[in-house]
Amino acid sequence: MQDTSSSFHTEEGLKREIGLWGLTSNIINVVIGSGIFVLPAVVSQGLGAAGILAYLFCGFLITIIMLCFAEVGSKVTMTGGAYAYIEAAFGKYFGFLTANLFIFGASLMATAAVANALADTLSYLMPVFGNKLFRAGFFIFMFSGLTIINVLGVKQGITLVKLTTIAKLTPLLLLIIWGTTEVSVQNLKWDRAPSINDFGTISLILFFAFQGAENGLSVSGEVKNPKKTIPNGIFLSLSVILLLYMAVQLVSQGILGDSFPDYKAAPLAEVAKRIIGPFGVTLMIIGASISMFGYLSGDLLNMPRVLFRSAKDGVIPIRPLALIHPKFATPYVSVISFTALGCFLAITGEFKQLAILSSSSVLLIYLGVALAVIKLRIKNKADPSSFQIYGGYTVPILAVVTIIWFLSNLTKSEMIGIFITPVVLSLLFYLLKYFKTRRSRIYV
């Protein structure tokens, strides 16, 4: 019998034209962003030369999580990503929590974190970006400009987003190539083994640089021979990302040594300066800025539309968010609302704090996806045409245990901040359900 999963067309009429290299490139492009330009110094401060262990751990975790996404994605055909997967496994309540946590927790916090990373990077060349008042004005100007662009139309927004993978990778690859000969082996020796607490805390922050890989699987319905290509694409892309990240960390640590944490604003710019002088600084700042601004422009194009769709479908009960501009045909209320909230959080927060909150929100969603794999396996019989992780329940259970341990490294205040959101959302869900039931009884 012919394997329908590898046929030329899907049931939805999409052509299966994406091969292994296409899927691999897509995941790499989605994942590599602002984190790697600023986080190496944070890793060095917390773990020193042993920081490379945090990269290995994060790489392991994101790999098993992506395998969970691949399996559940092959079984749940509805659009919506994690929201659709978790709702299919556990019902509308958990779907509601996931959608809101994704928009207002993971994505919004990441937007504000990257905005701060951009300002920190620019402060390396222009110290005025360290001034809080100037910084706030910069955020207002930048977010306002992106709001106007995305209200005017999707064409303008998508033009701004067309930043190539090469623009991101070139400065990183040059840093590795040029810096390898300048590395001092003495700087790579471990003075001490990191404590479990330090390792967990730093890994949680570093995970910010790995999240988002699931978005690269959004093209799974157009992948040739998905049962083979998807797991191979996940393994290959995450291997490339991990090797690139580790090379950047090792070269930077090997050149800067104990002084590495002193350059948290733009650590890679300092490395480039030591290697090739002022030109290296300019190259790295431009590369980092393109990557960060590209992320922001893309996020502020895409996420307001997710917010709009959620309001339109009733997942978020704020009807004005579903309004479309009469002239420009864009979800202008959602665009303005999301960018305004992002700007506020950027002004009031800082990169490290916002990155932790974003990573924690994402990990809660990843936890739901791993549990969904287990639930759907128990609930449904195995479909030969769908992808299934080898090793029975080992991978999803390992993902669940690892994520719970990850989240246990949050400070008390961070834990309260993360878990208060689901509590508030739960109250909102049941209040809405109560009023909806009451209204239906009145009109019966």
Give the model confidence (pLDDT) of 398-438 as tens digits: 999 999 998 998 888 888 877 888 888 888 888 877 777 76
Which pLDDT value is given to residue 216? 67
Which pLDDT value is given to residue 107? 86
pLDDT grade, residue 244 (50/70/90)? Answer: very high
Which pLDDT value is given to residue 222? 65
Residues in Cβ contact with 268 at an 8 Å cutoff, skipping those fewer than 6 apart: 37, 40, 171, 172, 175, 248, 252, 284, 288
pLDDT grade, residue 133 (50/70/90)? Answer: very high
Domain 4-410 carries which CATH code?
A: 1.20.1740.10
> What CA–CA distance (Å, rounded) separates 84 from 306?
13
> How confident is the prediction for the chain on average, in pLDDT?
83
Query: CA dihedral defined by 177, 183, 185, 186, rounded to 10 degrees?
Result: -160
170-189, pLDDT tens digit by residue? 888 989 999 999 999 999 99
pLDDT of 9 strictly over 60: no
Which pLDDT value is given to residue 85? 86
Q: Directed axis angle between helix 351-379 and helix 412-443, to 10°?
A: 60
Render the burial of 423-439: b for 16+ CB within 10 Å, e for the rest. Answer: eebeeebeeeeeeeeee
3 versus 209: the higher-pLDDT residue is 209
Which pLDDT value is given to residue 384? 67
Average pLDDT over residues 150-177: 66
pLDDT grade, residue 28 (50/70/90)? Answer: confident
289-340, pLDDT tens digit by residue? 888 887 787 778 777 877 887 788 777 777 888 888 888 777 888 889 999 9
> What CA–CA distance (Å, rounded) separates 123 from 328?
36
pLDDT grade, residue 119 (50/70/90)? Answer: very high
pLDDT of 6 strictly over 60: no
Share of the chain above pLDDT 90, in %: 33
pLDDT of 227 strictly over 80: no
CB atoms within 10 A of CB 409: 20
- Contact (CB, 8 A) for 82 and 368: yes
pLDDT of 92 strictly over 70: yes
CB atoms within 10 A of CB 403: 24
- Contact (CB, 8 A) for 304 and 150: yes
pLDDT grade, residue 8 (50/70/90)? Answer: very low
Which pLDDT value is given to residue 47? 93
Dihedral of CA 268/272/274/279: which sign?
A: negative
DSSP state letter for 134 = H
Residues in Cβ contact with 121 at an 8 Å cutoff, skipping those fewer than 6 apart: 37, 38, 265, 266, 269, 285, 288, 289, 292
Least confident residue range of 3-17, 30-44, 56-70, 162-176? 3-17
- Retrieve residue 11's tokens: 């049931």
265-284, pLDDT tens digit by residue? 789 989 999 998 888 888 88
Which pLDDT value is given to residue 440? 61
pLDDT of 25 strictly over 60: yes
329-379, pLDDT tens digit by residue? 778 888 899 999 999 999 999 988 898 889 899 999 999 999 999 999 888
Average pLDDT over residues 101-123: 90
pLDDT of 7 strictly over 60: no
161 versus 75: the higher-pLDDT residue is 75
pLDDT grade, residue 232 (50/70/90)? Answer: confident
